[in-house]
Amino acid sequence: MANFEEPSNPVGTVAELFAGVGGFRVGLARANFATVFSNQWEPSTKAQPASSCYVARFGPKGHSNEDIAEIVSRLKVDENALPEADLLVGGFPCQDYSVAKSLNSSKGLEGKKGVLWWEIRSIVEIKKPKFVFLENVDRLLKSPSSQRGRDFAIMLKTLGDLGYLVEWRVINAAEIGFPQRRIRVFIIGRRVDTLDRDTNFSPGSVICKSGVLARAFPVLPGARVTEIDLSSPPEDLSLNFGKGLKISPFLNAGTYFNGKAYTARVETVEAAKKMTLGDIVIPDSEVPESYWIPESRISDWEYLKGAKTIQRVHKESGASFNYSEGKMAFPDLLTNPARTIITGEGGAAPSRFKHVIRTEKGYRRLTPLELERLNGFPDNWTKLDANAEQISDIKRAFFMGNALVVGLIERVGKILAHELSRS
């Protein structure tokens, strides 16, 4: 495994939150950014395997393995508790962002304790990076089910109120040419005072042409833009936004500026050449025996991946109901991109959601190295921890279920690098 090296002459610096095993850092290094601070903390557990893997790859310098709330507490006392960085990044957990409330002027806006968006917001408010680059599941745009889009509305409003022009875009990695159908929403915040003074804000242009995400992932022309009023205070949005809506008003692309969100359903210009699952598999001779599925267990896998109706009982009411599942491909075709890797991908037990492929030798699961390749990491990136001890295959699969597609980060990073070089 080659040692990671930061760019020798970087265009900008990065602070990485919720770092996992370093997908943002790898992708942004390829775009000529140097990471000066990172934080990875897994709550409610003594073991910190992702942080240990991160240190094994990047070294301990600038890395923090502690609750982000502790970092924010120090930062509120001393702004130098976190290094200056041009870009703040993170793939943060998707949570309920309600209970926003205005406090007195000395404390500003805060939200529900333990909800990590408010920690991100506090860091942005204090450090004021030129750019913010966040990643999340696309469900964020429509949560919660009782107030469709409320959580995202609060995010846009509170980040915009700190002086940022915000963009978002839902990206399917397979459409861009990568070998996994991983769908995520990317969010870019750009500090308004860094924009050219003669820039005229045009929502349609930002969404479809001039924005960071539009340049990283071009779209077909003809998208229809609609406006969403977010001028109400965040606490009002928390109470009222999305009530009575069955679907979210936020579509797969958009921008926010000065109290208003603008959104459109765009079509990505798909890659001319696309990678498939078959492009990343290793030879049968290199696959450990434990990954091959015995003939006696094939029927178990077929049942779990097949169409079925299961009777279940509601935990609260005790009422029974029928739960239906559709048929899934079995095995996963090597001529298609892989499905989204999930955190439960590891382990030999039959599962509906784990990948199974068929080669000349038979049926088998995907190895950790192949999962790393699906996300664009270097081979065996997660093999060892900071003590040079082997990380279990189950944990390695968990890491990749939580990771992002590195190549997508690189594409966005190159546009951000261009913007910084112009400033």
Q: Output the pLDDT for position 3.
A: 66
Numbers of helices and strands, H then E, in the chain? 13, 16
Q: What is the pTM of this model?
A: 0.93
Q: Output the pLDDT for position 320.
A: 84
Task: Quote the tokens at residue 288.
Answer: 């450990």
Whether the pLDDT of residue 109 is over 70: the answer is no
Q: Output the pLDDT for position 44.
A: 78
Residues acting as catalytic residues: 94
CATH of 12-271+405-422, one of 3.40.50.150, 2.60.40.180, 3.60.21.10, 3.90.1580.10: 3.40.50.150
CB burial of 340-361 (b: ≥16 within 10 Å; e: otherwise) equals bbbeebbeeebbeebbbbeeee
Q: Tokens 């390749």 map to which residue?
A: 373
Q: Report the SS3 class of residue 6.
A: coil
* Domain residue spans of the chain: 12-271+405-422, 277-381
pLDDT tens digits, one per residue of 71-84 = 999 999 999 999 99
DSSP symbol at 340: P
Least Cα distance to 90 among 32, 30, 28 occurs for 28
Mean pLDDT of 402-419: 97
CB burial of 366-392 (b: ≥16 within 10 Å; e: otherwise) equals bbbbbbbbbbbbeeebbbbbbeeeebe
Per 3-state DSSP, what percentage of the chain is helix, strand, and coil (rounded to 5)?
Answer: 35, 20, 45
Higher pLDDT, 199 or 343: 343
How confident is the prediction for the chain on average, in pLDDT? 92
pLDDT tens digits, one per residue of 366-402 = 999 999 999 999 999 999 999 999 999 999 999 999 9
Mean pLDDT of 316-340: 90
Whether the pLDDT of residue 163 is over 90: the answer is yes
Phi (first) and psi of residue 62, to 5 degrees: 75, 5
Q: Output the pLDDT for position 422.
A: 84
